[in-house]
Structure 1
């Protein structure tokens, strides 16, 4: 495998899809049988991922996506990224869409094919902390 600039590929994806809200860009970046594993649950296929991303974006009004850091293995086929999402609650965790501020961090590990296409993304978010922040004063 030739060396990829995986950091560049992933950060271009972040810029187009999450920062630019261009969900059709998923077609350019991801293989057709793309998989995102979010919280241990697999979403399979590029089209299913696109629907998942749109739904996630809908749950946070004015979603802002900030990259904290991104780095890769030696050949660029694996990339790790830390990031922060912020915005206003539009129904996260099944809570009422009260438009209160929400912010949480997360990590993503990417598998990148030799041609630079994204194959798999494993994502973990600080969901417990975000839920508790939105659910202040309620027993959990």
Structure 2
């Protein structure tokens, strides 16, 4: 195992970017050619990812990010996080902003470079269940 502490690196990313709601923190934490693969789509480059984070955060009011658990591979080059996001719909997934509650869980697998920068993030999330819950909320509100 090398000298990097990958769990701390990823924990710092979650804290500075998602928990603080600060897309600008991406500039110092991910590689220039960083990629995120989510929902079957790969978004490439630090700048594109930063824009994606800002749009995601803007789509959920009262945004909260919670780490459920996190661990690394023995080699230290991969970190897995189970996470939970809560808040209220402000245009999430293209829906009309209506304040519907959002409670989404997911898993992220990060590639951590030897220099401590994040190189890639593969994300799986329960977006279908979130959509169904938002539809139930709208039906009750109607």
Count residues in correspondence.
Answer: 138
Q: Name the structure with the higher helix share.
A: 2
* Structure-1 residue corresponding to 2:38: 38
* Structure-1 residue corresponding to 2:74: 74
Q: With structure 1 as the length reference, what TM-score do the two structures score?
A: 0.94
User: Cα deviations across residues 80-139 of structure 1 (Å, max 9, x unaligned)?
Assistant: 0000000000012222201121111010000011111000000111001000000114xx
* Structure-2 residue corresponding to 1:133: 133
* Structure-1 residue corresponding to 2:64: 64
Moved over 2 A (4+): none
| 1:3 and 1:75 in contact (8 A); partners too | no
| 1:88 and 1:102 in contact (8 A); partners too | yes
- Per-residue deviation, 1:75: 2.2
Find the residue that maps to 2:49 and give its secondary structure: helix
* Structure-2 residue corresponding to 1:5: 5
* Structure-1 residue corresponding to 2:118: 118
Say which is worse superposed, 88-97 or 76-85, in terms of deviation. Answer: 88-97
- Per-residue deviation, 1:42: 0.5
In 1, distance between residues paired with 2:25 and 2:95? 30
In 1, distance between residues paired with 2:35 and 2:69? 22
Q: 5+ unaligned residues in a row in structure 1: which ranges?
A: none
